[in-house]
Structures are given as C-alpha cells and as structure tokens.
Structure 1
Amino acid sequence: MSYAYLFKYIVIGDTGVGKSCLLLQFTDNRFQPVHDLTIGVEFGARMITIENKPIKLQIWDTAGQESFRSITRSYYRGAAGALLVYDITRRETFNHLVSWLEDARQHANANMTIMLIGNKSDLAHRRAVSTEEGEQFAKEHGLVFMEASAKTAQNVEEAFVRTAATIFKKIQDGVFDVSNESYGIKVGYGGIPGPAGGREGSSSQVGGCCSN
C-alpha cells in the first residue's frame, strides 16, 4: 500500500511505564502482560489516515534503563514525533520527565512533536499522579497530553493519531522542509508500496512486550 508520508516516531520514558505495550496495542490491537525488558530498541509500523491521506508510522520503542540512554539518544535524530510516557501509579516516572525532555530537546530537531502520555489509566485506584498535574506539565513544556491505557486500549489510537495530525499540520504550515529526511518525514510515492508492505496494522516486533 502506498503512502503520502512516512513519519518516524520514538517512544521514550522510564522502564516499566508500558512503552512496549502501547506500541503493541497500537500495531497489533493486543495487550501482552508478560514483562520482558526491551533491550536497546524495538520497532513497529502501521498505516493510518489523516485528512484522507495514507500516513505510515514507523515507531521506535526504546529501552528505559539508564544503561541504554546513549542508544536511545541516537534515535532522537530523524524523529518527527515522540511519545513521552509515564506511569500514573508511579510518581518517580513522572518526576523523571524533565530529564527525558531535556534529552529530547537536546538531541532532536526543534520542531519534533512531543505527546505526553500518562499510561495505566485503568489503574486509577492506584493513581499517584493526578490528571491535572499531567496537564500542567504538558502546558508548561508545550506538549500535547492525554492519559491512556495500553491494557484497555483507551486513548492509545488517539495518542498516535493525534501526534500524526499535529505533524501533518506542521507540514501544511511549512514548518518542515519535507525534502530533508532528517526531520523524520519521508514523502511517499503514489502507487509504490511502502517499505515492509505497509499493510494496515502491519508490524515487525522483536523480543517481548511490556518491558518499559
């Protein structure tokens, strides 16, 4: 299937916040509760539609452990969007957002769209971070915000699609030079299949889920 644009995403945040689960829910519509740690970087892809245009999302899921931080940093370059994830039941994952944001701002292009996701909204009874705190942090740092649940799929689709819609609007507004692939955007060619076939819901997964 051909695409109008390909957007590269990176998923970042502390280990155990559910980054791999969010990706798996988005690409495969399934939740895998077994926790294998992501080693380095995993990959997934899916086609979506923004304003009647087919968009391919190429998503890099990164390891949250400090020991992999240098590998993660190399993936900021060439990313059009980032999903910055914390766990609403673990206060320390929210406290570490500033550090992740500093990394992103230092290593990514200045126009990268960052979506802040408070994951595990299905565990509201164990909530340690209020929705208002998440909203306030996003507002202060110019991020898009929503709470989601990789387990129930609540807002997972919306998080990836809304990020893509924001990137698409930036293209229309002339913010990105789409001929420069270092911005994480690739212009598609009509009628030519995208890499990996570009099937709806297609994905390539390495290793386990739910690691981080």
Structure 2
Amino acid sequence: MAYKVDHEYDYLFKIVLIGDSGVGKSNILSRFTRNEFCLESKSTIGVEFATRTLQIEGKTVKAQIWDTAGQERYRAITSAYYRGAVGALLVYDITKRQTFDNVQRWLRELRDHADSNIVIMVAGNKADLKHLRAVTPEDAAALAEKEGLSFIETSALEAVNVENAFQSILLDIYQIISKKALAAQEAAASTPGLPQGTTINVSNFTSSMISKKACCSN
C-alpha cells in the first residue's frame, strides 16, 4: 500500500481500532473524525477508515484510523490491515465482561501481525453506562500496567475522552519517531568523512510514518 505525500501534512500515521464486535469502535471512529454518533450503527463488515488532521508539537499530522470488524468470520480479512499500523486503540465495553476478557486475545493477534514498536492503548468504552458496569477501572488499569500499555475510559455517546485517547496515541508515536530522527542526525554528525547529502537509513522506521522531507512507500 503506497502513501502519497503532499503538502497538507508532515506525517501520516495509521492507527487501527480493534476489539470485539459491538464495543463501539465505529462510533469512536465517527466521533473522532466527524464528531458524530449514531445510535443505529450497524456492525462493520470487513474494514473501513477515516482520516483527521491535527497539530502535534507544531507539526501537521494526518491520522488515518482503520476500523476493523470484530466478528470472528472477518478476522482473516482484517489481519492484513495491521500491517503498517503505528498505533492501536484496543476497545472493550465496560458493561460486558467478556469483551474485556478477550482483550488478551486481541493483544496476541495485534502483536502477531503488527510492528513490535506499535503504540497501544486500551480503552473501556461506554463509560456513560456506569450503572451497568461489569469491568472496574482498577481491573483494566492493572491489565494495562501488566502489559505495558496505556489505559483510558471513553464514551463515544457523550464524547468523553475520545479526543484525549487519539491525541495521546499520536503524541507518543510522534515522540518516538522524533527521537529516532534526532538519533539519526547525531549519528550522521559524528561520522567522520561522511559526504554532505549522504542518506542515512534508520532501522525500525515504519513506512506509514511519512515525512514530506523523505518520501516513502511500503
């Protein structure tokens, strides 16, 4: 999949939404990208995506959010879409314990198919239904800490923490590639006799992390 670099953004980051069917992934996507919520939304079939452009530390970042179907029968279709993702929001429903218990399975699948440096956040959605809560924030925070992930509770219906979740993921991704770019510059500066204009290839850069200063495709 090739990504065309234009003058509208400095970086393009691919983020996947994963989790069981019915946890609210599609409404999280529509809330973040269009500030919309649909009570009658149907289960996603296959994969769909939407984009939104934000400013992150003075840079224009285009977030390409992929909504993967949660139904088991579509998992073979969606596994290819983890490729090139630099961020993931793993969503469960705070009112359905089973969706939280399945977080570990989704994590295994994500780590099997995605880059090892992917930024992952666990999100307990439908926080507006606290009276029906089946998963405590403490349980979710403990799991996230054990797995080395960040954690947040969201409500796509009430637009609570959806923006914060994506902002946090995008900031983490940006800071990771900024550190790699700085390290590359320092390595180039410390290499004696290196002709000016020579390209330094930095390992672990994902092709979906695109700067318009260096055109890439995967």
TM-score by length of 2: 0.82
2:164 to 158, 161, 183: 158
1:181 Cα offset (Å)? 6.8
Does residue 32 of the first structure (1) align with residue 38 of the second (2)? yes
Secondary structure at the aligned position of 2:180 is classed as coil
Give the corresponding residue for 1:187: 211
The alignment status of 1:174 with 2:198, answered yes or no, reads: no
Residue 109 to residue 65, structure 1, CA distance change in 2 (3 Å): same
Contact 1:179 1:186 in 2 (8 A): no
Secondary structure in 2 aligned to 1:149? Answer: coil
Q: 2:20 is matched with which residue?
A: 14
Partner amino acid, structure 2, of 1:39 = I
Question: Structure 2 unaligned runs (5+)?
Answer: 1-6, 185-200
Letter in 2 for 1:87: D
| Match status 1:106 vs 2:117 | no
Structure 2 distance, partners of 1:73, 1:136, is 27
Bigger CA drift: 54-63 or 169-178? 169-178
Contact residue 118 and residue 148 of structure 1 kept, 8 A: yes
Report the alpha carbon displacement of residue 184 of structure 1 after superposing the two structures with TM: 2.7
Largest Rg, 1 or 2: 2
- The superposition leaves residues 17-50 of structure 1 with CA deviations (integer Å, 9 ceiling, x where unpaired) of 0000000000111111113110100110000111
Higher relative contact order (CA 8 A, sep 6+): 1
CA contact (8 A) 1:80 1:183 kept: no
CA contact (8 A) 1:77 1:182 kept: no
3-state SS of the aligned residue for 1:172? helix
Number of corresponding residues: 190
Superposition pairs of residues 62-211 of structure 1, within 5 angstroms: 62-174=68-180, 182-188=206-212
Q: How much is the aligned-residue C-alpha RMSD, in angstroms?
A: 2.0
- Runs of 4 or more off by more than 6 Å in structure 1? 175-181
Deviation by residue 1:31-74 (Cα, 9 ceiling, x = unmatched): 11113110100110000111111100011101000001112211
Give the secondary structure class of the aligned counterpart of 1:7.
strand
Gap runs ≥5 in structure 1:
191-212
Give 2:49's match in structure 1, choosing from 24, 36, 43.
43
Q: Do residues 54 (structure 1) and 60 (structure 2) align?
A: yes
Contact 1:88 1:119 (C-alpha < 8 Å) held by counterparts: yes
Post-superposition Cα deviations, 1:147-173, rounded to whole Å, max 9, x if no partner, equal 000000000001011000000111122
